[in-house]
């Protein structure tokens, strides 16, 4: 079955600390990969996505993610977090063909950044 | 271009009542998805619709839940005879046509645009 594993459910950091959120997916074929962010009380919005090409993708607000096909991973990174990055982060994927085309979401990682 | 709109934002119902949740997709989007979000559980897919068609309802409970996306008007998620366990945030998302972005960025496999959600509380 298709699944997404987000290793950290809760992360607490101080401002200016570096961030890396793990994401691993289970599917053998080509995939589209996404990170969505949900700020407190708001809806999910796209942070970044990978469809093809350079496996290092840059998103909004200084976030980036690297697709490592051999590890089935798509980890999210930010070199220096801010208090405003406090939010819930969701990793998701959908197979490019075959499989269940509906995106599979991870459980989410709650990030709290202390000022 | 207005984003995905959902209403109401908050809905309180007593056990046994009906809940109707509405979703208007972004302009130009013909694919609509409904998800349920429970605390500590992330997003769970419920149903995928296109105009006048239910494409995939594999995530929908077999009883009491139904969805539609009529030719005119918003998509509706309907929950009959609500129970306390239905309390959750319900999100609607839409996506552009399958042909968008060289045929890989649209449809269900592409980027989804989410609405603000409806938070349902069943007393």
Tens of pLDDT, residue by residue, chain B (123 residues) = 568 999 999 999 999 999 999 999 998 888 899 999 987 777 899 999 998 999 999 999 999 999 999 999 999 999 999 999 999 999 999 988 766 555 556 666 778 899 999 999 999
- Mind telling me how many Å the CA of A31 is from chain B's nearest CA? 9
Chain A residues near residue B101 by CB distance under 8 angstroms? 51
Chain A residues near residue B111 by CB distance under 8 angstroms? 34, 46, 49
Q: Which residues contact B121 (CB under 8 A, 6 or more apart)?
A: B10, B11, B12, B13, B87
Select the residue of A34, A94, A107 nearest B41 (Cβ to Cβ). A107
What's the rounded Cα separation, in Å, for the pair A57 and B57?
33
What's the rounded Cα separation, in Å, for the pair B4 and B94?
7
DSSP code for A103: P
Chain B residues near residue A95 by CB distance under 8 angstroms? 109
DSSP code for B52: T
Q: Which residues contact B70 (CB under 8 A, 6 or more apart)?
A: B51, B52, B76
Burial A19-49 (b: 16+ CB within 10 A, else e): bebebbbebeeebbbbbbbbeeeebbebbbb
- Mind telling me how many Å the CA of B15 is from chain A's nearest CA? 25
Three-state SS at B69: coil
Mean pLDDT of A3-19: 94
Residues 21-80 of B with CB under 8 A from A: 33, 35, 40-45, 48, 56, 59
pLDDT at B117: 93
Angle among Cα A22, A26, A30 to the nearest 5 degrees reads: 105
Are the beta carbons of B104 and A102 separated by less than 8 Å? no
DSSP letter for each residue of B7-33: E-SEEEE-TT--EEEEEEPPTT--EEE
Lowest mean pLDDT of A77-81, A85-89, B108-112, name the range.
B108-112
What's the rounded Cα separation, in Å, for the pair B78 and B104?
31
Secondary structure in 3-state letters for A48-76: EEECCCCCEEECHHHCEEEEEHHHCEEEE
| pLDDT reading at A5 higher than 60 | yes
* Residue B117 touches partner A, C-beta closer than 8 Å: yes
Nearest CA to B117 among A39, A46, A36, A42?
A: A42
What's the rounded Cα separation, in Å, for the pair A25 and B10?
33
DSSP code for A97: S
């Amino acid at each position: 079955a298709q699944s997404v594993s987000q290793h950290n459910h809760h992360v607490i950091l101080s401002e200016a600390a570096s961030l890396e959120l793990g994401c691993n997916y289970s599917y053998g074929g080509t995939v589209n990969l996404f990170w969505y962010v949900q700020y407190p009380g708001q809806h999910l919005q796209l942070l970044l996505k990978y469809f093809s090409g350079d496996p290092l993708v840059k998103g909004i607000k200084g976030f980036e993610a690297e697709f490592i096909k051999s590890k089935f991973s798509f980890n999210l990174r930010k070199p220096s977090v801010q208090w405003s990055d406090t939010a819930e982060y969701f990793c998701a994927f959908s197979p490019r063909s075959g499989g269940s085309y509906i995106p599979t979401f991870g459980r989410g990682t709650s990030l709290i950044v202390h000022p | 271009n207005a984003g995905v709109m959902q209403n109401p934002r908050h809905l309180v119902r007593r056990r046994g009542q009906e809940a109707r949740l509405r979703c208007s997709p972004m302009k130009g989007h013909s694919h609509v998805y409904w998800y349920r979000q429970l605390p500590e559980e992330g997003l769970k897919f419920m149903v995928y619709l296109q105009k006048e068609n239910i494409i995939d309802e594999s995530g929908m409970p077999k009883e009491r839940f139904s969805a539609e996306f009529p030719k005119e008007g918003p998509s509706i998620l309907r929950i009959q005879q609500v129970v306390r366990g239905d309390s959750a945030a319900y999100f609607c998302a839409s996506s552009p046509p399958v042909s968008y972005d060289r045929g890989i960025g649209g449809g269900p496999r592409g980027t989804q645009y989410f609405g603000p959600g409806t938070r349902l509380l069943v007393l």
